[in-house]
Amino acid sequence: MLPELTPEDLHARLQRGEDLALIDVREPEEYAYCRIEGSRLLPLGDLPGHADELPTDRPVVLICHHGVRSGQALAYLQHRHGLTNLLNLRGGIHAWSVRVDPSVAVY
């Protein structure tokens, strides 16, 4: 089972001012349409060439549309790069939009 957090957990942690890296693994068109404030775009297909750019000194939250691609990214980064500071946003940005921030567009 992959480590994950709910949209509500992420929101609470951000509200507390926790230092989290938000990495969005969707495609540029999706990211342009809607995103969580403060997130960085790193499409899943580009991840292998940029994995060494991810912080290792704080939690990294991986985000996609529904949590599937970000789960794939998390598994890849754990198994191929040995990263242990990763969390998958359960339900992705869709769940974030529906349950936390309705100002973020749903698609």
Residue type, 96: W
Q: Report pLDDT for 1.
A: 75
Give the per-residue pLDDT at 40: 98
User: Helix (H, G, I), strand (E, B), or coil: what is residue 38?
Assistant: coil
pLDDT on residue 46: 97
Structure tokens at 97: 């939009």
Q: Averaged in consecutive runs of 10 residues, what is the pLDDT profile of the chain (107 residues)?
A: 94 98 98 98 97 97 98 97 97 98 97
* pLDDT value at residue 2: 87
CA-based diameter of the chain, in Å?
Answer: 36
pLDDT of residue 49: 96
Structural domains of the chain sorted by starting position, each given as residue range(s) with its CATH number in brackets? 4-100 (3.40.250.10)
